[in-house]
A and B are shown apart, each in its own frame.
Chain A
Amino acid sequence: DTAVSQTPKYLVTQMGNDKSIKCEQNLGHDTMYWYKQDSKKFLKIMFSYNNKELIINETVPNRFSPKSPDKAHLNLHINSLELGDSAVYFCASSRGLAGGITDTQYFGPGTRLTVL
């Protein structure tokens, strides 16, 4: 009965490979997000989708491509992985998309990506 789930939890791969991280939420939320927690521990927004429509696309290399097959899923595909992509990636969801009361976000457990 996990609210927001991510797979895999750990991902170790070589530079240059392509990998995907999957996210699913069973909260009935309309909005889903991907955040990256960098080495300085900040969580920074990467993407946001509302009802399968891209809402936020921060300054992220185009090697990162989110895909939302339906509003309960938001997957992250990364091409040509680089050392600097090593981080913890968190998926989140919220009921609304406006900044404010409806923006309480529920996070998945994170995926620790290590690029060798």
Chain B
Amino acid sequence: DQQVKQNSPSLSVQEGRISILNCDYTNSMFDYFLWYKKYPAEGPTFLISISSIKDKNEDGRFTVFLNKSAKHLSLHIVPSQPGDSAVYFCALTGTGRRALTFGSGTRLQVQP
């Protein structure tokens, strides 16, 4: 009963190119969507978020897109840099939920 799926466990891109990480969810009660980034031996750190009233949020090289009808969100990183190499988790929550529901993560490797 996984409510949040990140179907690509890993992704490799060249430095300077675009990285696209995807996340699908099943529960339409989610209305706030976040991306966390995790380096080895560290905890996840907040990266960017979007609420359900928007379909796009941009912060520098990072853009999150939300398609509510498809229950799909994506994170675009452009241009990708070697320091972006990490595991990226999507995390979803909603009014009254009080905790985050995480996907299983996608390991991004940016090749110099």
Chain A residues packing against B (C-beta within 8 Å): 4, 33, 35, 40-45, 48, 55-56, 90, 92, 97-101, 103-110
A15 to chain B, nearest CB (A): 26
CA distance A104 to B100 in the complex (A): 9
B44 to chain A, nearest CB (A): 5
A1 to chain B, nearest CB (A): 15
CA distance A41 to B6 in the complex (A): 11
Q: Is B98's CB within 8 Å of the partner chain A?
A: yes
5 cross-chain CB contacts under 8 A = A33-B99, A90-B44, A92-B43, A108-B43, A110-B43
Q: Is B89's CB within 8 Å of the partner chain A?
A: yes
* Binding stretch for chain A, among B45-53, B66-74, B76-84: B45-53
Chain B residues packing against A (C-beta within 8 Å): 2, 31-32, 34, 36, 41-46, 49, 51, 87, 89, 91, 93-105
CA distance A104 to B42 in the complex (A): 17
CA distance A45 to B97 in the complex (A): 11
| Given A103-B93, A108-B43, A110-B43, also A45-B100 (CB < 8 A) | yes
- Contact residues in B for A105 (Cβ distance below 8 Å): 46, 100
- Contact residues in A for B103 (Cβ distance below 8 Å): 42
| Given A105-B46, A107-B45, A108-B43, also A100-B89 (CB < 8 A) | no
